Amino acid sequence: MLSPQLDNRHAVETPEGIELLLTPAGLLPRALAFAVDLGIRGAILGLLILVPGLLDRFGLGLAMILVFMLQWLYMVLFEVLNQGRTPGKQWLGLQVIQDDGSPVGWASSLTRNLLRMVDLLPFGYFFGVLSCLWHPSFKRLGDLAAGTLVIHQGRPIKRAAPTQLIAQAPLFVLLQEEKLALLDFAERYADFSQERRRELAGILAASLRTTPDKAEQQLLAIAHGLLGRA
Partner 1 sequence: MKQQQFEDHHQQQWQIFADDLQALEQGRPDEARIMAFPAAYRRICQHLALARTRGYSRALIEQLQYLAMNGHRQLYRQRSPLPVKILLFLSVGLPQLIRAEYRVVLTAGLLFYGSLLGMLLLVQVQPDLVYSMLSPTQVAQLETMYDPDSSRLGRFGERTAVTDWMMFGYYIMNNISIAFQTFAAGLLFGLGSLFFLIYNGLTIGSMAGHLGNIGYQQPFWSFVIGHSAFELTAIVLSGAAGLKLGWALIAPGRRRRSAALRLAASQGVRLVTGALLLLLIAAFIEAYWSSMTFTAPIIKYLVGCLLWLLVGIYLLRAGKDVHAAA
CA 83 vs. chain centroid, Å, equals 15
With CB under 8 A as the contact rule, the residue among 5, 8, 11, 14 that binds partner 1 is 14
Cβ distance to partner 1 smaller for residue 147 or 212: 147
Residue 223 to residues 143, 179, 183, 187: CA-CA distances in angstroms?
42, 8, 6, 9
In the complex, minimum distance from the CB of residue 138 to partner 1, in angstroms, rounded to a whole number: 15
What is the full DSSP assignment across the chain?
A: -PSSPSS--EEEE-TTS-EEEE-B--HHHHHHHHHHHHHHHHHHHHHHHHSTTTTSHHHHHHHHHHHHIIIIIHHHHHHHHTTT--HHHHHTTEEEEETTSSBP-HHHHHHHHHTHHHHTTTTTTHHHHHHHHHSTT---HHHHHHTEEEEEPP-PPPPPPPP-------SSPPPHHHHHHHHHHHHHGGGS-HHHHHHHHHHTTTTTTS-HHHHHHHHHHHHHHHHT--
In angstroms, what is the minimal distance from the CB of 8 to partner 1? 16
- The minimum distance between CB 163 and partner 1, in angstroms, equals 14
Q: What angle do CA 45, 37, 73 make, to 5 degrees?
A: 70
Candidates 27, 36, 45, 114: give the one binding partner 1 (CB under 8 A).
114
Given candidates 28, 52, 57, 134, which one binds partner 1 under the rule CB under 8 A?
A: 57
Interface residue with partner 1 among 87, 103, 170, 202 (CB under 8 A) is 103
To the nearest whole angstrom, how small is the minimum distance from the Cβ of residue 170 to partner 1? 13
The CB-of-13 to partner 1 minimum distance in angstroms stands at 11
Among the residue ranges 36-44, 112-120, 193-201, 202-210, the one whose residues contact partner 1 (CB under 8 A):
112-120
Q: Within a 13 Å sphere around the CA of 205, how many CA atoms are in the beta-carbon half? A: 14
Task: Name which of residues 134 to 193 contact partner 1 (CB under 8 A).
Answer: 141, 144-147, 154-157, 159, 176, 179-180, 183-184, 186-187
Q: Minimum Å distance from CB 26 to partner 1?
A: 19
Size of interface with partner 1, in residues (CB under 8 A): 58
Contact between 63 and partner 1 (CB under 8 A)? yes
Query: Which residues form the interface with partner 1 (CB under 8 A)?
Result: 1, 14, 16-18, 20-22, 57-58, 60-65, 67-68, 71-72, 83, 97, 101-103, 105-108, 110-111, 114-118, 121, 141, 144-147, 154-157, 159, 176, 179-180, 183-184, 186-187, 226-229
